[in-house]
């Protein structure tokens, strides 16, 4: 057991206050978004800054010798944008009752609905360091008189630890594709019902017939011209979805410079012109779909660039799964099945906490029913 008296907690207002090697020693090989390089690209580009409503407050836990045992990416938030676990209704209810919901403390990977560790442990660090990180976050929230603390897209294990330490638990879902030892895309299709198999083949053929060619680029193969094209697609999509983009052009350049080998950029060409793109990051087991955009409407191109190309990539590179991001029931008929996601919430006001707890009990029942119904829509053959 680690003793809190023999450990030191610091709060970093910039990820640059700690070296990449030290931070990344706590990051798993399948979690590219938790890497120092990703978080620093967000900060250095100004996407996570006080002006953007994401003020870094990273928690780091050291032993007596100054060795990092655990860390957590965290931010003071002045809004609820870019989180994908929606608490707008909580904020509205609390402020209508006379409270001040913002700022709040958010332990998360910004703009990234990808599950993973948020209470990051160094190899061989005592497991109870997770509880010490939670304790430090709650103490910080109390010190700053914040309404709440939210830890989003955690692992199930961390979710349970948080509940044991007074947090409320919330469950959602998103859609993942699992590689069941497939040797080819056709091998995957053979596991689907005849109707779904024919539908996917028809969609892929329609893209080919339109004269679209797709290429997957990584590392130094991605140039600034590629990022220029992709950013124009991102702006169009984010403008239609959210009203304003979370990420700026500088971020994508920094991402390519610092994490190019972790990037899989799918670009769609019509003749020599890039007409669409899908951005993925990969770990050692998973490829994660993030952003997509298109210059004009090409039938079925979204499904090809975002879903089928990712499946092809996972099969070719022997990856275990594809995580296609938040929302999108249409993903089910393309082989992506619903999986649980987890978040944890600490509420300062006890009366408001009880109200949120009641909401979450109802919300969990609704989510369970929805997941059951969605699972029944599986395109795979019944065994």
Assess if residue 334 is contained within a domain: no
- What total number of domains does the chain contain? 2
Interatomic CA distance for residues 236 and 239, integer angstroms: 5
Domain span holding position 266:
180-319
Across the chain, what does the average pLDDT equal?
95
Question: Residue 81 above 60 pLDDT?
Answer: yes
My answer on whether 264 and 357 are in the same domain is no
Mean pLDDT of 183-190: 98
Q: Which of 6-10, 39-43, 116-120 has the lowest mean pLDDT?
A: 6-10
My answer on whether 207 and 267 are in the same domain is yes
pLDDT for residue 236: 87
- Residue percentage of the chain with pLDDT more than 90: 93
pLDDT for residue 5: 63
My answer on whether 161 and 263 are in the same domain is no
Mean pLDDT of 49-75: 97
Mean pLDDT of 204-229: 97
pLDDT digits (tens, 9 = 90+) for 130-180: 999 999 999 999 999 999 999 999 999 999 999 999 999 999 999 999 999
Question: Residue 337 above 80 pLDDT?
Answer: yes
My answer on whether 165 and 260 are in the same domain is no
CATH number of the domain that 196 lies in?
3.40.630.30
Mean pLDDT of 4-31: 94
Mean pLDDT of 48-73: 97
Contact residues for 355 (Cβ-Cβ < 8 A; gap 6+): 93
pLDDT level of residue 239 (50, 70, 90 thresholds): low
pLDDT for residue 326: 74
Assess if residue 74 is contained within a domain: yes
- Residue percentage of the chain with pLDDT more than 70: 97
pLDDT level of residue 242 (50, 70, 90 thresholds): low
pLDDT for residue 219: 97
pLDDT level of residue 295 (50, 70, 90 thresholds): confident
Omega before residue 312 within 30° of 0, cis: no
With beta carbons less than 8 A apart as the criterion, state whether 167 and 360 touch.
Answer: no
Assess if residue 274 is contained within a domain: yes
Interatomic CA distance for residues 366 and 343, integer angstroms: 16
Assess if residue 285 is contained within a domain: yes
Question: Residue 277 above 80 pLDDT?
Answer: yes
Mean pLDDT of 83-87: 94
pLDDT for residue 241: 60
My answer on whether 139 and 222 are in the same domain is no
Interatomic CA distance for residues 306 and 292, integer angstroms: 7
Assess if residue 361 is contained within a domain: yes
With beta carbons less than 8 A apart as the criterion, state whether 107 and 118 touch.
Answer: yes
My answer on whether 27 and 166 are in the same domain is yes
My answer on whether 241 and 116 are in the same domain is no
Name the CA dihedral angle for 251, 216, 277, 31, rounded to a multiple of 10 degrees: -50
Contact residues for 36 (Cβ-Cβ < 8 A; gap 6+): 15, 18, 19, 20, 23, 24, 27
Q: Whole-model pTM?
A: 0.95
Exposed/middle/buried for residue 135 (C-beta within 10 Å: 0-12, 13-18, 19+) = middle
pLDDT for residue 284: 97
b/e sequence 7-31, b meaning 16+ C-beta within 10 Å: bebeebeebeebebeebbbbbbebb
pLDDT level of residue 59 (50, 70, 90 thresholds): very high
pLDDT digits (tens, 9 = 90+) for 91-126: 999 999 999 999 999 999 999 999 999 999 999 999
Assess if residue 329 is contained within a domain: no
pLDDT for residue 1: 44
My answer on whether 345 and 315 are in the same domain is no
Q: What are phi and psi of 44, to 5 degrees?
A: -65, -25
My answer on whether 188 and 158 are in the same domain is no
Question: Residue 314 above 70 pLDDT?
Answer: yes
My answer on whether 152 and 187 are in the same domain is no
Question: Residue 244 above 90 pLDDT?
Answer: no
Longest CA–CA span in the chain (Å) reads 67
pLDDT level of residue 328 (50, 70, 90 thresholds): confident
My answer on whether 37 and 147 are in the same domain is yes
Domain boundary among 291, 319, 347: 319
My answer on whether 139 and 251 are in the same domain is no
Assess if residue 199 is contained within a domain: yes
Assess if residue 324 is contained within a domain: no
Q: What are phi and psi of 380, to 5 degrees?
A: -75, 150
């Amino acid at each position: 057991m680690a003793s809190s008296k023999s450990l030191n907690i610091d709060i970093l207002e910039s990820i640059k206050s700690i070296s990449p090697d030290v931070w990344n020693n706590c990051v798993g090989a399948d979690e590219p978004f938790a890497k120092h390089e990703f978080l620093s690209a967000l900060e250095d580009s100004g996407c996570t800054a006080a002006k953007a409503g994401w003020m870094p407050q990273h928690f780091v836990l050291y032993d007596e010798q100054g060795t990092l045992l655990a860390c957590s990416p965290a931010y003071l938030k002045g809004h609820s944008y870019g989180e994908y676990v929606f608490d707008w209704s909580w904020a509205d209810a609390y402020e209508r009752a006379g409270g001040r919901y913002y700022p709040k403390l958010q332990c998360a990977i910004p703009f990234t609905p990808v599950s993973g560790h948020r209470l990051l442990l160094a190899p061989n660090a005592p497991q109870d360091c997770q509880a010490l990180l939670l304790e430090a976050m709650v103490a910080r929230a109390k010190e700053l008189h914040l309404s709440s603390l939210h830890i989003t897209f955690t692992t199930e294990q961390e979710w349970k630890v948080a509940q044991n330490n007074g947090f409320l638990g919330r469950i959602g879902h998103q859609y993942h594709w699992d590689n069941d030892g497939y040797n080819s895309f056709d091998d995957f299709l053979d596991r689907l019902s005849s109707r779904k198999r024919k539908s996917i083949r028809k969609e892929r053929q329609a893209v080919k017939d339109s004269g679209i060619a797709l290429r997957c680029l990584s590392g130094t193969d991605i140039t600034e011209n590629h990022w220029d094209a992709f950013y124009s697609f991102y702006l169009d999509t984010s403008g239609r979805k959210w009203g304003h983009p979370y990420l700026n052009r500088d971020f994508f350049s920094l991402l390519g410079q610092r994490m190019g080998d972790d990037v899989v950029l799918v670009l769609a060409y019509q003749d020599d012109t890039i007409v669409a793109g899908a951005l993925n990051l990969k770990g050692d087991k998973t490829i994660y779909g993030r952003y997509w955009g298109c210059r004009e409407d090409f039938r079925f191109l979204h499904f090809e660039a975002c879903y089928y190309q990712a499946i092809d990539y996972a099969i070719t590179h022997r990856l275990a799964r594809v995580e296609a991001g938040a929302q999108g029931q249409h993903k089910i008929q393309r082989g992506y099945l619903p999986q649980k996601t987890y978040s944890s919430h600490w509420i300062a006001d006890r009366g408001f906490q009880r109200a949120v707890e009641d909401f979450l009990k109802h919300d969990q029942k609704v989510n369970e029913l929805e997941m059951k119904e969605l699972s029944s829509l599986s395109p795979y053959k019944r065994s």
